[in-house]
Amino acid sequence: MSIQALKIGLFYGSTTCYTEMAAEKIQIQIHELAKMSKVDLFDIKDTHLKESEQYDVLIFGISTWDFGELQEDWESSWQDIKDLNLTGKKVALYGLGDQFGYADWFQDALGMLHDELAVLQCEFVGYWPNVGYEFNHSKALVAENSFFVGLSLDDENQYDLTEQRVEEWSTQILAELDAI
């Protein structure tokens, strides 16, 4: 199936609008890069996660709060994840965190979401290199701590890198989808 024919849904939870702004940037990048692909945006505060089942490709956005805690809308929907039918779906993740203020819990919610989705037999795309970050620990690392399970953004300390990272990651996930 061509990338233009895929239905892409992006579901995020956002308390301070940073995860929402990242969702909008990802939506624009994918649209510009894939030309005709449309990415539908959903704030999980207003949309039940069950809606995600109607999409071929899913992008989930989550932020880590305080000492490795889930964003409030994700926390409210957490029990719904296990009931989703995502078998065979392509899933990409992105997360926001503060690598200096919470260096021992950087992107923990991203890792927790990955682990929760992994049992649903979906196929992950968009693992992101652990390069250019400074932190002590993260639940979001895989492959001998070389990669995050998705795009890692830190708008608190590295806002100036967000646009470039979103562009590179969007290009990466589209390439991975086209190769499948």
Whole-angstrom Cα distance, residue 178 to residue 180? Answer: 6
* Record: fold of 3-179: Rossmann fold (3.40.50)
One-letter identity of residue 13: G
Q: What is the pLDDT of residues 91-105, one digit of tens each?
A: 999 999 999 999 999
pTM: 0.96
Whole-angstrom Cα distance, residue 167 to residue 26? Answer: 8
Lowest mean pLDDT among 28-32, 72-76, 123-127: 28-32
pLDDT confidence tier of residue 179, bands split at 50, 70 and 90 = low
CB of 107 closer than 8 Å to CB of 162: no
Residue 37 has pLDDT above 80, yes or no: no
pLDDT confidence tier of residue 180, bands split at 50, 70 and 90 = very low
Residue 121 has pLDDT above 50, yes or no: yes
pLDDT confidence tier of residue 38, bands split at 50, 70 and 90 = confident
Higher pLDDT, 34 or 73: 73
Whole-angstrom Cα distance, residue 60 to residue 13? Answer: 9
Percentage above 90 pLDDT, the chain: 92
Sequence-ordered list of residues with C-beta below 8 angstroms from that of 133, at least 6 positions apart, any chain:
99, 106, 152, 154
